[in-house]
Amino acid sequence: MYIFAFLSLLAVTTAFPQRRGGNRNGGGGQRTTAQQQAAQIPQGVSQAADGSTILDDTVNVNGLPIRFRVSAPADQFMAASGVQGAAATSPNGTMGINVLLHGDGGQSFFDFPNQNVQANTMGVALLAPDPNLFWGGGQGLQRTDGVAHAQAVNDFIQTELPQRVAFNNSQVFFTGVSGGSLLMSGFFIPAQMQNYPNSGVLLNCGGLPPQVDFVNAAQVMPQTTIHFQSTQSELQNLQQSIPQAVTAYEQLAAQQGLNTDQINTLQTVDNTPAGGHCEFDGQDFSSGIQVMANSYSNIVQPGGNGQVTGLGAPSNGQVRTGVVGNENLQFVGGQKRWVVPSDVRRWVVTEDP
């Protein structure tokens, strides 16, 4: 009885700071979720760093609210999109797209590091339909809503996006960040990649072996480029799951009859930069991801030379190391707990100066 009372008190006191932190933005008596806080950031039309037009809106897909950002030259938007200057009349466009799935908490959705057109490829970012803004829901390596979220991402690209912007559906590429990389490698690639011929996937600071049956591996494995990017001091549970993912994908390719050279051309891995989770520039979460996004075409698109500008030391900037024989990444230290880095929700509207 006394022990129970003591534990309850402990639970209340430890929960309290979190509740207070949540209340700051929302008012009212309930803790506001990350998703509710994100809803306070206005949607609409704005300008991208390279002068492209960004459309930010939400659409319901399979009962899930999918908030999206599309950054494209104005004339590539479908005339019905409402974007000023929209001129496309057919969804069959000439430009590719690079779809980004953010990490836990949604920072990269709001940073939108892939917003500039790169190699004739436009940027798209999607916000996880989850109270915590975790792609795949759940937490840590357990992404309990992975199947539904991967399906929603696919259905958004197949049915909703073409109503808003013209793109070439044979040039659809993907970028994962942390939890977004878990959804991509654990669920999306095995279940949905058959719909994206000749695609490339940049998996930043996260990886999981396939968690669901692999659909049509015979078609997907020989034509999908996958790059795993980590750092020396990655989160400890990712130090386990990223090498497991590298090994699983390599084996899938080998099972489809690909030889070592073919696998090493399609599947590459690097964790040379010294730094913590996603700190690819050796400095910081957001700036590290920006460095990778700035070079995604070099990394996973046809003709890319694998060179990334701005990686942290001692990297030499070349990240396309074939996976065969390099599955066993070497790590140093790294945080134990799966943490949402403290700076990961800089986008939150606070009353602090």
Ligand X SMILES: *[C@@H]1O[C@H](CO)[C@@H](O)[C@H](O)[C@H]1NC(C)=O
Beta carbon of residue 195, minimum distance to ligand X (angstroms, whole number): 12
Beta carbon of residue 138, minimum distance to ligand X (angstroms, whole number): 35
Question: Rule CB under 6 A: is residue 90 a binding residue for ligand X?
Answer: yes
Token pair belonging to 45: 């039309």
CA–CA gap between residue 347 and residue 339 (Å, rounded)? 17
Question: Rule CB under 6 A: is residue 159 a binding residue for ligand X?
Answer: no
Using the minimum distance from each CB to ligand X, give the nearer residue, 73 or 179.
73
Using the minimum distance from each CB to ligand X, give the nearer residue, 90 or 328.
90
Beta carbon of residue 14, minimum distance to ligand X (angstroms, whole number): 54
Beta carbon of residue 297, minimum distance to ligand X (angstroms, whole number): 13
- Interacting stretch for ligand X, rule CB under 6 A, among 18-26, 168-176, 211-219, 303-311? 168-176
- Residue linked to tokens 């390599």: 250
CA–CA gap between residue 283 and residue 277 (Å, rounded)? 10
Using the minimum distance from each CB to ligand X, give the nearer residue, 170 or 216.
170
Question: Rule CB under 6 A: is residue 168 a binding residue for ligand X?
Answer: yes
Beta carbon of residue 89, minimum distance to ligand X (angstroms, whole number): 8
Q: Which of 221, 194, 226 is nearest to 296 (CA)?
A: 226
The footprint of ligand X on this chain (CB under 6 A) covers a number of residues equal to 6
- Interacting stretch for ligand X, rule CB under 6 A, among 137-145, 167-175, 241-249, 322-330? 167-175
- Interacting stretch for ligand X, rule CB under 6 A, among 89-97, 137-145, 184-192, 311-319? 89-97
- Interacting stretch for ligand X, rule CB under 6 A, among 164-172, 213-221, 265-273, 322-330? 164-172
Using the minimum distance from each CB to ligand X, give the nearer residue, 93 or 113.
93
Beta carbon of residue 90, minimum distance to ligand X (angstroms, whole number): 4
3-state DSSP of the chain: CHHHHHHHHHHHHHHHHHHHHHHHHHCCCCCCCHHHHHHCCCCEEEECCCCCEEEEEEEEECCEEEEEEEEECHHHEEHHHCCCCCCECCCECCCEEEEEECCCCCHHHHHCCCCCCECCEEEEEEECCCCCCCCCCCECCECCCHHHHHHHHHHHHHHHHHHCECECCCCEEEEEECHHHHHHHHHHHHHHHHHCCCCEEEEECCCCCCCCCCCCHHHHHHHCEEEEECCCCCCHHHHHHHHHHHHHHHHHHHHCCCCHHHHHHHEEEECCCCCCCCCCCCCCHHHHHHHHHHCHHHHHCCCCCCECCCCCCCCCCECCEECCCCCCCCCCCCCCCCCCCCCCCCCCCCCCC
- Interacting stretch for ligand X, rule CB under 6 A, among 166-174, 175-183, 237-245, 256-264? 166-174
- Interacting stretch for ligand X, rule CB under 6 A, among 9-17, 86-94, 200-208, 237-245? 86-94
Beta carbon of residue 197, minimum distance to ligand X (angstroms, whole number): 8
Of 8, 58, 60, 94, which one interacts with ligand X (CB under 6 A)?
Answer: 94
What string marks each residue from 170 to 209 as x (binds ligand X by CB under 6 A) or -? Answer: xx--------------------------------------
Question: Rule CB under 6 A: is residue 92 a binding residue for ligand X?
Answer: yes
Give strand pairing partners of 58: 67
Beta carbon of residue 305, minimum distance to ligand X (angstroms, whole number): 18
Binding footprint of ligand X on the chain (CB under 6 A) = 90, 92, 94, 168, 170-171
